[in-house]
A and B are shown apart, each in its own frame.
Chain A
């Protein structure tokens, strides 16, 4: 079993991070993510870790990457405006294959927007840093329990695949208070260190479906990191003619994730086997959707529920399997339509219709009304 608590999503995130082994936090104040930094500023010292409030979000993500290089599990937390500022650092972590976790407790945008809830950063989390020649891992919690468990999962995935993992939460989930059960046993993935001699170690040499082992600063491996297109030794590629492997090295940062999509992608589904109408949702919206689907079933409507836990990499194949027998698929999200287009791409011959709103989150009544409208 485990111990039961009553706490907010943001607080649960901190406890999840500590359970996962996080021992470094750098951040900058921003609503609605503040409670994470505030709790971290106390808890990090209680567990022998380090907390620092940096001068901005750019510095925060950079300090997190620096800490990760020394072997610590490190994270930061922010919201939309700060997430935009962190994009160059996130790109750098992707390029240098540095494990770390970025929590984005989403708020309304564009720009300063407001501190009310939204799900507007789904595409930014996937495509936010320049070039797009990479794959992101993005998880979407829908409860306080998942703020805990998916924070742990974020650290595990980031260590296994050596990528920055984004926990894409929302104001509605970060500030939600409900029951949290901290289990007695937690599965933790720790960083793989090199086993070869210092002389033979090539920091970026690995199979296309894996991340290479990682030495820590101070271990004696004398590793060099750069955001430049680099060789397997880690040095800038100065000539494409002299180093034809460059593209292969660059491709691996995508393939190591793409080829493991079945392990990374997580779903929750109910009543899909005989459903005529399926509502695909994630995060806070899924709470309203689940309630509405249960109500619909009580009224004899064959409605189904699909919740994305992993937003990216997007598993089109799994969506096809889950929605195979439905006549209509509704995508409910709190933005102008972002996951909607991925679902449409996955189901080109099905009627996929949006249920969008731009502020706060869906209500069960809104979802139920939409279900009744389409059947």
Chain B
């Protein structure tokens, strides 16, 4: 029996993901975080958009939805405002959350609404066949950049910090315990939290960049190419090129949106 069998919709197995995909790990982190925090699972909502990441939500036993491409955070805003007692977790991807849905991501961070956004970054549009994403590294060959990518990728954690998120962290699937711990912090944090998890995609990033479809090799590459934020400040910028800077970037407090609605309602009553 699976450790999380009360959370996984086991009747839906086997799943539809490529061998070695990071999605299983990322949903495991999220489910583990919910389980360890002991939250009433009837009061937890999981939402996702479209893309590889989004299919995972149908395998966890919560109130949940695979919404529209890029729009999960907009749906989540409606759910949370309508019932602030629910814990709302959004699982999105880099194309879904930072490409087509980037507008909603930025505005939710600005509003500081109490959502926990877990963004699985595999650096390509994987479910459509490995096309260029806003997170694709410079020079990388993808299905739509046959001559190499001419654009600089987003640094999503800097973007979220600038937009006003109160908790921002980045880990990789080679750092599972730190990722789980950050998701727990994000859920507990009153406000908009953003946890980016750079995950292996053996089918595309593995094949296109690392010349391997072996998930273990991809994971090893993630481990070897990650630099803790604290050490990164001592390394020259040139050497950091292409590295994944991991760690907690923001952990602060500012007024949360549903709390402010509550205060306003009480004020209007009196």
> Does B78 lie within 8 Å of A55, measured CB to CB?
no
> A56 at the A/B interface (Cβ < 8 Å)?
yes
- Do A63 and B74 touch (CB < 8 A)? yes
- Residue B86 is within 8 A (CB to CB) of chain A in the complex: yes
Taken together as a complex, chains A and B put the C-alpha atoms of A47 and B267 apart, in Å, by 14
Given A62-B75, A218-B43, is A52 in contact with B81 using a C-beta cutoff of 8 Å?
yes
Contact of A218 with B81 in the complex, beta carbons under 8 Å: no
Q: A69 near B74 (CB under 8 angstroms)?
A: no
Binds B, one of A118-126, A132-140, A219-227, A305-313: A219-227
Which residues of A are found within 8 Å of B67, using beta-carbon distances? 62, 92, 225, 227
- A64 to B79 Cα, complex, angstroms: 8
Instruction: Give Cα A219–Cα B83 distance, bound, in whole angstroms.
Output: 12
Q: How far does the alpha carbon of A337 sit from the alpha carbon of B168 in the complex, in Å?
A: 54
Contacts of B58 in A (CB 8 A): 224, 226, 235-236
Which residue of chain A lies nearest to B72 when distances are taken between CB atoms in the complex?
A62
List residues 185-220 of chain B with CB under 8 A from any CB of chain A: none
B63 at the interface (CB under 8 A from A): yes
Which residues 215-266 of A sit at the B interface, judged by CB distance below 8 A? 217-228, 235-236, 238
Chain B interface extent, by class: 35 or more
Whether a CB of chain B sits under 8 angstroms from the CB of A142 is no
Contacts of B43-100 to chain A: CB distance below 8 A: 43, 45, 47, 55, 57-58, 61-68, 71, 74-83, 85-86
What total count of A-B pairs have CB within 8 Å? 126
- A15→B81 CA distance, assembly (Å): 22
Note all chain B residues with C-beta closer than 8 A to A45.
264-265, 268
Contact at B71–A50, with CB atoms within 8 Å? Answer: no
B78 to chain A, nearest CB (A): 3
Contact of A225 among B43, B66, B268 (CB under 8 A): B66
The answer to whether A54 touches B43, judged by C-beta atoms less than 8 angstroms apart, is no
In the complex, are the beta carbons of B68 and A66 less than 8 A apart? no
A66–B82 CB distance below 8 A: yes
Bound together, the chains give a CA A93 to CA B239 distance in angstroms of: 49
> Given A26, A52, A62, which contacts B71 in the complex, CB threshold below 8 Å?
A62
Pairwise interchain contact A62-B63, C-beta atoms closer than 8 A: no
- When distances are taken between beta carbons in the complex, the residues of chain A under 8 Å from B77 are 26, 52, 54, 59, 62-63, 66
With both beta carbons as reference points, the residue of chain B lying nearest to A61 in the complex is identified as B74
Shortest distance between the CB of A313 and any CB in chain B (Å): 25
Tell me which residues across on chain A come within 8 A of B80, comparing CB atoms.
66
Asked whether A21 is an interface residue with its Cβ less than 8 Å from the other chain, the reply is no
Q: Does A58 contact B (CB under 8 A)?
A: yes
**Counting CB contacts under 8 A, is A67 at the interface?**
yes
Q: Is the CB of A63 within 8 A of B78?
A: yes
B181 at the interface (CB under 8 A from A): no
Q: Would you give the shortest CB distance from A257 to chain B, in whole angstroms?
A: 22
CB of A89 closer than 8 Å to a CB of B:
yes
* Docked complex Cα distance between A218 and B42 (Å): 5
Say if the beta carbon of A214 comes within 8 Å of chain B. Answer: no
List 14 extra interface pairs beyond A50-B81, A222-B61, CB under 8 A.
A45-B265, A50-B82, A58-B71, A58-B74, A59-B77, A69-B63, A70-B79, A71-B82, A89-B71, A218-B45, A224-B66, A225-B64, A228-B66, A235-B58
14 A-B residue pairs with CB within 8 Å: A45-B265, A52-B77, A52-B81, A58-B74, A59-B104, A62-B75, A66-B79, A67-B78, A70-B86, A71-B83, A88-B68, A217-B45, A220-B42, A224-B57
A positions within 8 Å CB-CB of B? 24, 26, 45-46, 48, 50, 52, 54-56, 58-60, 62-72, 74, 88-89, 92, 96, 217-228, 235-236, 238
* B residues with CB within 8 A of A: 12, 16, 42-43, 45, 47, 55, 57-58, 61-68, 71, 74-83, 85-86, 103-104, 107, 261, 264-265, 268
Shortest 8 CB-CB contacts between residues of A and residues of B: A66-B78, A63-B78, A62-B74, A67-B82, A59-B74, A225-B65, A66-B75, A66-B79
